[in-house]
């Protein structure tokens, strides 16, 4: 029995061993087979690709975009600006309503707070002139410029123009890489463009898109007062401001300035949603040249108040469509009146270029030098006429739209934008009829007036004891408030209070 059992076990062990050996050999063969099969697939995937003339065209297009990026990127810079703000320890005690009861019973010790901003710029001359946005360097106390080769240079503001959001800064250098200017008047909807800059601190980023529209205005908030934007779907994000918008010839045709965003903050503090704006380079170039040459910008002035057309107005003035700018008022003894323009005329072309709307005409006029002669094609009662006008110089405090004004950038009241106190606004604010003045419609949160508690909806009744009954009064008196302390009487939440906006000796506006 034992012998049979031992023999049975030996036979079964032998069979089991042979079986395991066979299974192992089969498994090894399978691994080798499938391994070779899989390797062959991977090798095929790595080596395969589409071919043909159409694919070759796409490859050549990619190579062209790579060439543009390689050519332009060395001329792009990252700009980091630092602003020192003096704030009070207790904002509550600086409220004008509180101070009218307690005065200076509670002394306030100012403290310094540093704010940093990141933007972009474009080198436009070998000796270090850089074109950027005003809002990138506004109120900056220090500016650092990072080059594409990682050098960090100190920059200084040569000049800035809040009306177009253009600024020029300078670094010490020679033989710096530059990018050529194009002609933004030759842009067309559908053209391919590339945006260069430093979004969210990701240095030297390039995106690509198309020109979505031209002559845009109003869509990018209140950054500019002269608005004639290029709209693009090339991705522009915070930090891209001041960077270059470039055409397929590697020429700058715009300066990135703003976006529409899904975020709730002003100026598009959220992310890019496909709508970005750039300042046409022809406008930026004109401003830049004036700032470098004289430190200020001189602009052409026609001497008219203009508005847009809708279907009803077009019908009333016998105009075939809604393109053009409707002359609403003519300034007495101004260039337009001397040339023969009248209220009710519709300006359709300027120097042979079509006028789509009033903002486009404003931008074209202000982009010309005083003394320039312009040819205007107009419709008067439906009849075509041609008028030649010699432009004057635009007054520095002239509001672009009727009833709107802004304090000059070089003054104690800088950063304040106002509009006339209309019956509708009076009703909205709940103000009695005896309150007269201009209402603050926009205010820079970092300006001296904002630091004293002024904000949107406050009504400025007087400046240095002089009554303010209109935007014209505000423009005149604000223009005189330079350097010294300025006394305002302000209606703040229904209460009239006096507020002193402190100036400083040698105040040159704080921006330059």
Report helix, strand or coil for 428. helix
Instruction: Please list, in sequence order, all residues whose beta carbon lies within 8 angstroms of the beta carbon of residue 248, skipping any fewer than 6 positions away.
Output: 64, 68, 191, 192, 193
How far apart are alpha carbons 470 and 468 in whole angstroms?
Answer: 6
Question: Which residues, including other chains, have CB under 8 Å from residue 4's CB and lie 6 or more apart?
Answer: none
Long-range contacts of 188-191 (CB under 8 A, 24+ apart): 188/214, 189/213, 189/214, 191/247, 191/248
Q: Which residues have a Cβ under 8 Å from the Cβ of 373 and sit 6 or more positions away?
A: 388, 389, 390, 391
| Active-site position among 241, 261, 409, 462 | 241
- Residues with Cβ within 8 Å of 355's Cβ and at least 6 positions away in sequence, in order, are 323, 324, 325, 347, 348, 349, 361, 364
492 is catalytic: no
Half-sphere exposure of 270 (CA within 13 A, CB side): 10
Q: Is 81 a catalytic residue?
A: no
Tell me whether residue 212 is one of the annotated catalytic residues: no
Catalytic residue among 75, 81, 135, 409: 135
Active site residue: 81, 120, 165, 184, which one?
A: 165
Buried/exposed 201-234: b ≥16 CB within 10 Å, e otherwise: eebbbbbbbebbebbbbeebbebbbbbbbbbbbb
Instruction: Please state the three-class secondary structure of 136-202 as a single string.
Output: HHCCCCEEEEECCCCCEEEEEEEEEECCCCEEEEEECCCCCCCCCECCHHHCCCCCEEEEEECHHHC
What would the two tokens of residue 506 be? Answer: 């040698």
Could you tell me the CA-to-CA distances from 212 to 21, 75, 230 in Å, in that order?
A: 71, 25, 8
CA distance 1 to 69: 91
Using the structure block, give the residue that is written with the tokens 């602009």.
299
Q: Tell me the catalytic residues.
A: 135, 165, 241
């Amino acid at each position: 029995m034992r012998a049979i059992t031992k023999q049975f076990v030996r036979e079964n062990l032998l069979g089991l061993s042979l079986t395991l050996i066979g299974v192992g050999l089969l498994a090894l063969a399978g691994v080798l087979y499938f391994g070779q099969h899989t390797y062959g697939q991977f090798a095929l995937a790595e080596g395969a690709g589409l071919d043909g003339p159409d694919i070759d065209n796409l490859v050549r297009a990619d190579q062209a975009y790579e060439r543009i990026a390689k050519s332009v990127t060395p001329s792009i810079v990252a700009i980091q600006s630092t602003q020192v703000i003096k704030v009070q320890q207790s904002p509550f005690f600086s409220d004008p309503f509180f101070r009218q009861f307690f005065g200076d019973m509670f002394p306030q010790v100012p403290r310094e707070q540093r704010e940093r901003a990141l933007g972009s710029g474009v080198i436009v001359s070998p000796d270090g002139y850089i074109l950027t946005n005003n809002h990138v360097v506004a109120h900056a106390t220090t500016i650092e410029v990072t080059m594409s080769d990682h050098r960090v240079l100190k920059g200084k503001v040569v000049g800035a123009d809040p009306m177009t959001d253009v600024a020029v800064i300078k670094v010490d250098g020679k033989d710096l890489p530059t990018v050529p200017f194009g002609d933004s008047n030759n842009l067309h909807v559908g053209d391919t463009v590339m945006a260069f800059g430093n979004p969210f601190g990701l240095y030297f980023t390039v995106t690509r898109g198309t020109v979505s529209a031209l002559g845009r205005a109003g869509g990018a908030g209140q950054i500019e007062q002269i608005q004639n934007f290029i709209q693009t779907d090339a991705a522009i994000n915070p930090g891209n401001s001041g960077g270059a918008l470039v055409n397929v010839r590697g020429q700058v045709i715009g300066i990135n300035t703003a976006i529409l965003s899904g975020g709730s903050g002003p100026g598009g503090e959220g992310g890019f949603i496909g709508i970005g704006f750039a300042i046409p380079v022809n406008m930026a170039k004109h401003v830049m040249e004036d700032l470098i040459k004289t430190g200020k910008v001189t602009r052409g002035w026609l001497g008219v108040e203009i508005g847009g057309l809708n279907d009803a107005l077009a019908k009333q003035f016998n105009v075939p469509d809604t393109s053009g700018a409707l002359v609403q008022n003519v300034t007495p003894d101004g260039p337009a009146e001397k040339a023969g323009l009248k209220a009710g005329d519709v300006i359709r072309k300027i120097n042979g270029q079509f006028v789509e709307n009033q903002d486009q005409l404003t931008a074209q006029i202000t982009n010309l030098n005083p003394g320039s002669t312009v040819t205007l094609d107009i419709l008067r009662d439906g009849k075509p006429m041609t008028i030649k006008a010699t432009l004057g110089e635009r007054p520095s405090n002239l509001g672009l739209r009727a009833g709107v004004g802004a304090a000059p950038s070089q003054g104690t009241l800088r950063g304040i934008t106002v509009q006339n106190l209309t019956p509708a606004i009076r009703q909205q604010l709940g103000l009695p009829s005896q309150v007269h003045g201009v209402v603050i419609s926009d205010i820079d949160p970092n300006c001296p007036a904002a630091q004293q508690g002024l904000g949107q909806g406050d009504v400025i009744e007087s400046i240095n004891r002089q009554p303010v009954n209109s935007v014209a009064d505000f423009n005149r008196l604000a223009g005189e408030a330079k350097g010294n302390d300025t006394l305002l009487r302000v209606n703040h939440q229904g209460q009239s209070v006096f507020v002193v906006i402190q100036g400083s000796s040698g105040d040159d506006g704080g921006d330059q």
